[in-house]
Amino acid sequence: MKFSKTVRQFSFVGIGKIVGSGLSAIFYILFALILEPSQYGELSFLIAIAQITSIFSRLGFNHTITIFQGKQDKNISEQINNFVLLSTSVASIFLLFINPFVALLTLSMSFFVMGQHNLLGKSKYKFFMNISILQGLLHLFFVLIMFTFFNLEGILIGMCISNLICCYPFFKSFSKFNFDFRKLRTIWKTSIHNFGVDASTNLSRRIDKIIIAPIFGFTSVGIFQFNTQILFALELIPLALHSFLLSEESRGNKSKKLIFYILILSIIISTSIFFLSPIFVKQFFSQYSDGIFSLQILGFTIIPLTISSIFSAKLQVMESTKVGFAALIRIGSIIILIPILGNWFDLAGLSLSLLISSILYSIFLGVLYKRLVKNY
C-alpha cells in the first residue's frame, strides 16, 4: 500500500516534468526544423545566458526551499523566498544593459523554478504537475505567436510570458516581504553546497554552449543543442526522481523499489537511443545528421546521471557540507574536456566530454555518500 502511494505521488512529479518539459522540447524541435543550425545556435546561446544567470542568482535556494518546506520550517522558508526575489532582481537589472529580453527571461525563470520547488517541499505534487503542464502549453503557444512578430527576440518574449503566468505559486508562498536574512546564516554553508548540486545539474547543461560558440561556431552549437535537447527530454525521469527524493527523504520516507526501477529504465533508454537515433534523425532531421554518432554517445550519460541524482538527493537531505564540491568535478571537467576532445573528435568529442564528466560526477557523489553514511 505504501509503495503504491509512493508510485502515485512520484507519478505526479514525473508526469509534470515529462509533459511540461516535453512540450517545451517540442518548441526546441520545432525551431530546429524552422531555423538554420547557425540561427538555432544563436538562439541557444541567448537562452543559455539567461539560464546561467538564473542559476547563479538562485544560489541553490531552490533545492534548499524544498528541504525546509518539507521540514515545515516556515520562518527560514520565507527568508529564502525573499532572498531569491532580491538576488534575481539585482542580477536581471545588470543584464538589462546587455540584452533586456535575456534579463526578463532570467527573472521569469527564477520565479517559476522557485514556485515549483516550493510546491515540491509542501508535497503538493498534483499541483506541481498541473502547473508544469500549463507552463509547457503556454510556452509553446506564446513562443509561436511572438516569433511571427519579433523573430528570435519574440521567442525570448514568449518564454518570459509563460514563466511569469505560472510563477504565482512563488508569490503565493509569501506571507510578508521581509529582507531580514539573519536566520539564513545558520544554513548558508548547506545552501552553498545545494547551489553546487543545482549547478552540477543545470549549469553543466548550459555552460557547454558558452564554451562551444567562440571555439567551434554557432553551427556546432546548433547541432549539439539539438542532441542535448533530446538527452534533456529523456533525462527528465532521473530529474523527477531527484526532486521527489529530496521532498520524501526530508520526511524520512524511503523509496528503494522506485530507485531500482528507475535505474533499470535508464539502461533501457540509453540502449534505445543508441539503436534508434540514426533512424530518427535521418528520417525527420536530416540537416542534423552530422551529429548522429555524437547523439549515440550522449545517450549513455543518462545512466551515471540517474545514479548521481539518487546520491545527490540523499546527501542534500543529510545536509552534507561537501556535496557542492561535485559541481567542481562536473563543470570543471566539462570546461577542460570540451576544447580538447572537441578539437580531437569534433561533435563526438563534445559528447564524450559530457559522458566522462557525468561518470566522474556520479563516482564522486557515490564515494562521498558512502563516507557520510559510515559517520552519520
pLDDT for 6 equals 65
pLDDT for 145 equals 92
pLDDT for 201 equals 67
State how far the alpha carbon of 71 is from the alpha carbons of 68, 135, 249, 371, 373, in Å. 5, 27, 10, 25, 21
Q: DSSP label at 167?
A: T
C-alpha cell at 281: 534523425
CA distance 64 to 78: 12
pLDDT tens digits for range 58-71: 888 887 888 788 77
pLDDT for 177 equals 67
Alpha helix stretches (DSSP H) within 35-184: 37-58, 61-70, 74-95, 100-121, 125-165, 168-172
pLDDT for 1 equals 41
CA distance 276 to 145: 33
State how far the alpha carbon of 179 is from the alpha carbons of 1, 76, 122, in Å. 44, 12, 23
Whether the pTM exceeds 0.85: the reply is no
pLDDT for 204 equals 64
- Under 8 Å between Cβ of 232 and 25: yes
CA distance 275 to 293: 11
Q: What value does the mean pLDDT of the chain take?
A: 81
Alpha helix stretches (DSSP H) within 166-235: 168-172, 188-198, 204-216, 218-234
C-alpha cell at 257: 523499489
pLDDT 10s digit of each residue in the chain, 376 long? 455 666 676 677 767 777 776 777 777 777 777 877 778 778 878 888 898 888 888 888 887 888 788 777 777 888 888 888 888 999 999 888 888 999 999 999 999 989 988 888 888 888 888 888 898 889 888 988 999 888 888 889 999 999 999 888 888 777 666 666 777 777 777 777 777 777 766 776 677 767 776 777 777 777 777 877 777 777 777 777 777 777 776 666 677 788 888 888 889 988 988 998 888 888 877 777 888 888 889 889 889 988 988 888 888 777 777 777 777 888 888 889 888 998 888 888 888 988 999 899 899 988 888 887 776 5
pLDDT for 161 equals 93
State how far the alpha carbon of 290 is from the alpha carbons of 54, 89, 149, 312, 347, in Å. 32, 41, 32, 34, 8
